[in-house]
Amino acid sequence: MNPTDLAPASGHRTEPPDAEPATGPSLTSLLRPYRGPFAAVVLLQVIGAVAGLAPLWAVAELGHTLLSPDPVDHGHVRTVVIAGAVGLFVKLTFTAASTGLGHLLDDRVQLSFRRQLAARLGHVPIGWFSRRRTGELAKVVGDDVGAVHPFIAHAPGELVSAFVVPVVSLVYLFTVDWRLTLITLAPVMSAVALVPFMMTPARLREQKEFDAAMGRIASSVVEFVQGISVIKAFGGAGRAHRTFLTAVDDFTGAFLRMVRGLAGVAAAMQVALSPPFVLLVVLSGGTTLITNGSMAAADLLPFLLLGLGLTAPVAALGHGFDDMQAARRAVGRIRDVLAVPSLPEPALPVAAHGHRVELRDVRFGYEADHEVLRGIDLVLEPGTVTAIVGPSGSGKSTLIQLLPRFFDPTHGSVALGGVDLRELGSRELYRMVSFVFQDVRLLRATVADNIALAVPHADLDDVMRAARQANIHDRILELPRGYQSVIGEDAGLSGGEAQRIAIARALLADTPVLVLDEATAFADPQSEQAIRRALATPGGDRTILIIAHRPETIADADTVVMMENGSIVERGTPAELLARGGAFAALRHSHRSATADGIESRDGVPQGDEPR
């Protein structure tokens, strides 16, 4: 997490992590850097669309010439044929160029959007992620960015054809016979008159419900896949399937409501623009004019060719507007993500002096009206291990997440080396602080790259040394390609092994401050003991803050901090707290009783989900 704007140090109230984002950039502003190429796409499409009328004009003109009682002008016929062929060639060339340039532009725009989203997501508070479904966020980064494709790569051609082709055709047809031109326009105008009925508030609401239902399906699928092992282990497959089926049912209902609302209007438009209906109207009007002697029979041919050609562009207009509406809604969701406020970054970073950690009157809440931490005062001296203990919901995880600055306190300060974290540059902060959490996420990269994530230029010997310290070296050598095995491809690791990879990463980073949130929860006792030995630096100068459950881990701590309801209720050495017989002693006693009764978790103590 790399924060970005300057914030005052002590007592400054930051915006709550889940505050509603401000309005983000509009579609126009997002596309402003691409105005030139976009204009070129439109211009090429205009030229191609106009040139595409030349073959139809040539056929109509040839029919008029050949059906005329006057002698055939062979030079005129040759000119008309050449003009039609040239027009066809120009249409193909310019339309292909417009399509190619449009797709290249679309690639650039999508890449830019995804980079902007990645940059923004790399700066937002972690709490923002915890309050959003994974599937919905994946939909923004994947589907919503992809929804811009039709608007950029296809909509210009469809919209240009929908406007330019009819206008040019009508100008020509008016010069032939204005009366039959108006008759030819009747089906098109009736279809256009129906468009507002597709844009009513009810229709727009149904489209939003449809998009939301799609997001819920994506979320339920992602959550089911990610939690499949837990679901199966605890017999929850039926409930998980029901969650997915409920999302599918909601989507079906939203889809049917949208289709029912649009079906009548869409059917009427389709009939009005269908070639048989337009042909019937043109022939009826033309026959009437010809039989009463007010129009020559040869003049009917342009209307049969160009008149029918009016319907396809107008039909495409509907698709173009659909693409624009879909892009507008997608960009709205992209804007919301891009507008999420990031943690502030100082304009003039201050260097830390040492790595003593101080928390002074720290208060924090995920919601403005509910504090999770209440008046925390804590000092972590260099070379010491501080263990945070307490029941579920006491605020342990929230407390340790303030140190790597996943959040800023809403009141008070967290200082490192005498400097408020909000005055430290993110580069300096993460040079001094590393962290390992229970829920480890490894990259789809080689094992060596995963370990060297914080030190990308580390040589293999250093990587292997860190792996040995984390007691994972031998397991890595068993992988098909050893350290070059790719996570998720030919390297399958258990939860405990993934944790040890993350610990090796932290050891290689060799930061003076290390934060561990149940980082050895899946490790066996032998591995945990090896890891505890490795965490101690040769000079004994590393500051370690750890959430601890196992008695061995707590016993090794220099200081134990007991938390309840977001406050520190006891602190001292393990022996002092046990001798005091207070909250810590009661917690240890309950753990031992549960262990004796066989209710033991992977850590040797009863487990509860660590709340935020």
- β-pair partners for 388: 547, 561
* Digit-coded pLDDT (tens) for 419-434: 999 898 888 888 888 8
Looking at per-residue pLDDT, the higher value among 11 and 359 belongs to 359
pLDDT tens digits along 579-611: 898 888 888 777 666 555 554 443 333 333 333
For residues 485 and 462, give the distance between their C-alpha atoms in angstroms, rounded to a whole number. 17
- Most confident residue range from 207-216, 221-230, 484-493: 484-493
- Residue 511 makes CB contacts below 8 A (sequence gap 6+) with 430, 431, 432, 433, 434
The mean-pLDDT minimum among 64-68, 268-272, 346-350, 527-531 falls in: 527-531
Residue 17, pLDDT above cutoff 60: no
pLDDT tens digits for 50-106?
888 888 888 877 877 777 777 878 888 888 889 889 989 999 999 899 888 988 888
Q: Above 50 in pLDDT, residue 122? A: yes
- Using pLDDT thresholds of 50, 70 and 90, give the confidence band for residue 569: very high
* Domains defined for the chain, CATH in brackets: 27-338 (1.20.1560.10), 357-596 (3.40.50.300)
In this predicted structure, the answer to whether residue 264 has a pLDDT above a threshold of 80 is no
Q: What percent of the chain has pLDDT over 70?
A: 79
Across 48-82, b (16+ Cβ under 10 Å) vs e yields bbbbbbbbbbbbbbbbbbeeeeeeeeeeeeeebee
Predicted local distance difference test score (pLDDT) of residue 312: 67
Whether this prediction's pTM lies above 0.85 is answered by no
Grouping H, G, I as helix, E, B as strand and the rest as coil, residue 70 is: coil
Can you give the pLDDT at residue 256? Answer: 82
Q: Look at residue 6 in the predicted model and tell me its pLDDT.
A: 33
Residue 560: its pLDDT value, please?
A: 92
Rg (CA), the chain: 35
- For residue 231, the model assigns a pLDDT of 52
The better pLDDT of the pair 378, 315 is held by: 378
**So what's the pLDDT on residue 528?**
65
Q: Which of 325, 366, 345 is closest to 132 using CA atoms?
A: 366
Quote the CA–CA distance of 26 and 155 in Å, as a whole number: 18
Q: Is 336 exposed, middle or buried (0-12, 13-18, 19+ CB in 10 A)?
A: middle
* Residue range 482-497, pLDDT digits in tens: 999 998 888 888 877 8
| pLDDT value for 346 | 83
pLDDT for 563: 92
Which carries the bigger pLDDT value, residue 596 or residue 435?
Answer: 435
Q: What is the pLDDT of residue 373?
A: 92
How many angstroms separate the CA atoms of 153 and 541, rounded? Answer: 59
Nearest Cα to 542, choosing from 420, 430, 383, 389?
A: 383
Structure tokens at 93: 């060339």
- How do 385-389 and 411-416 pair as beta strands? unpaired
Give Cα 45 distance to the centre of its chain: 32
